[in-house]
Amino acid sequence: MIRKVTAEDKALYLELIDEFYHSSAVLHPIPRAHYVDSFDEMCRTGGLLEGYIIEYGEKAAGYAAVARSYSTEAGGLVVWIEEVYIRPAFQSKGLGRAFFDHMKELYPEAKRFRLEVERDNTRAIALYERLGYEVLDYVQMVQQ
């Protein structure tokens, strides 16, 4: 089951995001304050970030964070899959695919779904390719 994050999920979300940011799926950990800020944004009405808890039976198997934007290049709504984390014990059970299917159902008007992935995360890349994702040849730049 995939359900939206609620205010009651704070401890669970903080646990899951901490696991994600200390896994090999990311380049480096981030400050814990960022976890709390993202959770608060998920719980804010009309916020920029949506959060989802991914469950397997009665157990929390992972979480996801999703943002939306408009793209002239894409011709409309772009759904950014900011983070998807499935705990190792629950991987290869179809949960990742189920999450992406859920997003397609939730956002049928989306012109593009977009995500980032570490080059070494070959399992995730294989899933994304099976789902029809393609590599964009952009150089990503940030200013902090």
Residue 18 lies in a domain: yes
CATH number assigned to the domain comprising residue 78: 3.40.630.30
Stated as kind and residue range, the H or E segment containing 68 is strand 59-71
Query: 3-55, pLDDT tens digit by residue?
Result: 999 999 999 999 999 999 998 888 888 899 999 999 999 999 878 999 999 99
Contact assessment for residue 46 and residue 68, using Cβ atoms and an 8 Å cutoff: no
Quote the DSSP letter at residue 108. T
Contact assessment for residue 113 and residue 79, using Cβ atoms and an 8 Å cutoff: yes
Residue-number span of the structural domain to which 103 is assigned: 2-130
Assessment of whether the complete model's pTM goes beyond 0.85: yes
Residue 19 lies in a domain: yes
Token pair for 114: 């977009």
Residue 136 lies in a domain: no
Number of structural domains the chain divides into:
1
